[in-house]
Structure 1
Amino acid sequence: MPKRLDIELIAPSGYAEDRAACHRGIERLQAAGHRVHGTEVVDRVMLRFAGTDAERAADINRLVDPGKPLPDLVMAICGGYGAISLLDRLDFDGLAARFVDDSCVLVGHGDFTAIQCALYARSGIGSLHGPMLVQDFGAGYLRENTWRHFWQTATSPRTEMSWVCGDDQRDLLVEGTLWGGNLSALCSLAGTPYLPSIPGGILYVEEIGEQAWRIERLLFELKLAGVLDNQRAILVGGLGGQRVSEYDNGYDIEHALQRFGRSSGLPILRGLAFGHGPDKWTLPFGAPAMLSVVGGAATLTASGYRHSGALAGGPPAPA
């Protein structure tokens, strides 16, 4: 009998504008046999946020309570903005003590990057950069590959993903700690105690709605802040929403990445779908990983990360 999970919803950032998607996502998770808790967070609204700072921080700090069993999964409902204002309110020592011997897994992407970085930097807690309730599980059309890879990664100690990164990508074999997330969120933590120092890392970045020059500037911000020192490769996910203006004179995201690649000297790989966008792989933040490229075909494997135990291959994807 496949294991069914207890899933706790949290809302650390923006409020869920699409309530129909919320309910659709909850129903899909329940139809797969999972128990979904914390559904009241989908109805909280305060300005552009899913509640006050105190309410949103309390969603996470409640995990410290020894009188309440930890869920198998803690899932952010959506991104937006607001997670950074919670960081000074989180009980990192309590979370570290509570999670040390437990398999509870946190998952999200976008603005949730700030929480993931802070948890790793201050509590040593790894997490999953993966799908969320509204955009993914509640989408009008559920992407089967996204669903299946998430459950496989969330419930086993090893995951693998392969993609085509182009014939112009030189062959490569590197090992390091897999980490990263939304580019703007990462840059917002530079110079703070909430951005982890990860020598020998394999950094993944993604963004949505930022122009090519802005992407290049954010990457240079990480470089000049020393964040990229001793990184071994950068994986670039979706960078949707760019517009090329007349003033750009043809300058686009390809030029931005080429210019930055020459300056940084780091291998920059594209083609892996994660973060914003309808299709996404699930990446274990903080996991030991190996990245190989042979003939333009890339493979990323990660293992030894926090997971929720065997799920017998994961539930089938609902319609």
Structure 2
Amino acid sequence: MMKPARLQKGDTIGVIAPSGPVNMEKLHKAIPFFEKLGLHVQLGQHIEEKNGYLAGTDEQRLADLHEMIADKNIKAIIFARGGYGAGRIASDIDYNLVRNNPKIIWGYSDITYLHTAFHQATGLVTFHGPMLASDISQDDFDELSGRMFEQLFEPTKLCYSEKSSPLCVRVSGEAEGELVGGNLSLLVSTIGTPYEIDTKGKIILLEDIGEEPYRVDAMLNQLKLSGKLAEATGIVVGDFAESEPKVEKPSLTMEQVFHDYLDKLNIPVISGFKIGHCLPHFSVPLGVHAKLSSSKKTLTVDAGVE
């Protein structure tokens, strides 16, 4: 495990888009949030590029990532948005460069592919949290979601309890291990690749958006058949937004799908966490030690920075 250094007032953060194209008006609307935290913001050279559903070519997006990692003046990389495309550059990332320049990496959704790849290749602790153009720019971006960035300035042990949202104990028990995971569809897409998610002895975070019950069924089935669920010590079910069937047809509910795949496991499973495509968005470091307790209905996560 390799933790990045904490931020200091006056530091510069880099903003790039390794996935989908960016709405620049929304991005610029989010920049004052970081300036109020005492940070300077530097945009990637190709952040305004568009290539179909990608924010520029693979080469452009990779170049921005490498440039921000190599730049000693950049202390954190906060991604502009998710979408699709991070997995396309995973095999060309210079992981030695990442290993030799550990810094804060923050984002979620499609960024799950990078979280997983960085962790598998280098052991770097990264952060699952809201991004500029897709979240921070929104008028309803809330105070709690904003306060979660404070963990980047001071090592902080986080504790999620029912003070944040109602939680449902699906399977009772106590678990501990590294917290890994993120967006379900991206985790499934790593299987069979060099960046395949490792769940052995770990607590898995699962969240997603826009996936109907039959799609979540298929993805959980793949995690089950590949042994990823059985190898874990516990499961944290985050937010599954916009998951209703898009057309009227016979369907299981999401609760029924969760019951079929999660409620029969022999490890603790708790759902209801406001982690994912939601507000408030409780941000957590990935790759650090965590504890999941059904008796206390809590998830505690060690600090992600040094």
Report the TM-score when normalising by structure 1.
0.86
Report the number of matched residues.
Answer: 295
For the aligned residues, what is the CA RMSD? 2.1
Matching residue of 2:4: none
Matching residue of 2:187: 186
Matching residue of 2:92: 89
1:73 aligns to 2:79 (yes or no): no
What is the 5 A alignment of 1:111-190? 111-152=110-151, 155-163=154-162, 164-166=166-168, 169=170, 171-190=172-191
Whether the 8 Å contact between 2:112 and 2:182 is mirrored in structure 1 is yes
- In 2: Cα distance, 1:170 partner to 1:263 partner: 8
Whether the 8 Å contact between 1:153 and 1:282 is mirrored in structure 2 is no
The alignment partner of 2:262 has SS state of helix
Whether the 8 Å contact between 1:105 and 1:154 is mirrored in structure 2 is no
Matching residue of 2:42: 37
- CA gap of 1:267–1:173, structure 2 versus 1, over 3 A, is closer
- Opposite residue 174 of structure 1, the aligned amino acid is A
Whether the 8 Å contact between 1:191 and 1:225 is mirrored in structure 2 is no
- In 1: Cα distance, 2:236 partner to 2:171 partner: 14
Range that drifts further, 273-282 or 157-166: 157-166
Whether the 8 Å contact between 2:15 and 2:44 is mirrored in structure 1 is yes
What is the 5 A alignment of 1:251-262? 251-262=252-263
- CA gap of 1:193–1:181, structure 2 versus 1, over 3 A, is same
Task: Indicate which of 247, 250, 261 corresponds to 1:248.
Answer: 250
Whether the 8 Å contact between 1:44 and 1:50 is mirrored in structure 2 is yes
Matching residue of 1:15: 21
Matching residue of 1:315: none
Whether the 8 Å contact between 1:120 and 1:196 is mirrored in structure 2 is no
- CA gap of 1:154–1:208, structure 2 versus 1, over 3 A, is farther
Matching residue of 2:291: 290
Whether the 8 Å contact between 2:170 and 2:263 is mirrored in structure 1 is no
- CA gap of 1:279–1:64, structure 2 versus 1, over 3 A, is closer
Q: CA offset at residue 161 of structure 1?
A: 1.8
Matching residue of 2:3: none
Q: CA offset at residue 70 of structure 1?
A: 4.7
Q: CA offset at residue 86 of structure 1?
A: 0.4
Task: Indicate which of 52, 57, 60 corresponds to 1:52.
Answer: 57
- CA gap of 1:299–1:263, structure 2 versus 1, over 3 A, is closer
- In 1: Cα distance, 2:52 partner to 2:154 partner: 36
The alignment partner of 1:93 has SS state of helix
The alignment partner of 2:14 has SS state of strand
- In 1: Cα distance, 2:175 partner to 2:152 partner: 21
Whether the 8 Å contact between 1:234 and 1:268 is mirrored in structure 2 is yes
The alignment partner of 2:228 has SS state of coil
Aligned-pair identity in percent equals 28
- In 2: Cα distance, 1:79 partner to 1:130 partner: 11
Q: CA offset at residue 110 of structure 1?
A: 0.2
Structure 1 stretches lacking a partner, 5+ long: 310-319
Residues 122-168 of structure 1: CA distance to partner in whole angstroms, max 9, x if unpaired?
111110001111122211232100010232356324222213313x6
Range that drifts further, 115-124 or 133-142: 133-142
4+ residue segments displaced more than 6 Å = none
Whether the 8 Å contact between 2:11 and 2:39 is mirrored in structure 1 is yes
The alignment partner of 1:205 has SS state of strand
- In 2: Cα distance, 1:64 partner to 1:71 partner: 7
- Opposite residue 131 of structure 1, the aligned amino acid is P
1:61 aligns to 2:66 (yes or no): yes
- CA gap of 1:170–1:64, structure 2 versus 1, over 3 A, is closer
Matching residue of 1:208: 209
- Opposite residue 51 of structure 2, the aligned amino acid is M
- In 2: Cα distance, 1:170 partner to 1:225 partner: 21
Report the TM-score when normalising by structure 2.
0.89
Q: CA offset at residue 106 of structure 1?
A: 0.3
Q: CA offset at residue 300 of structure 1?
A: 1.4
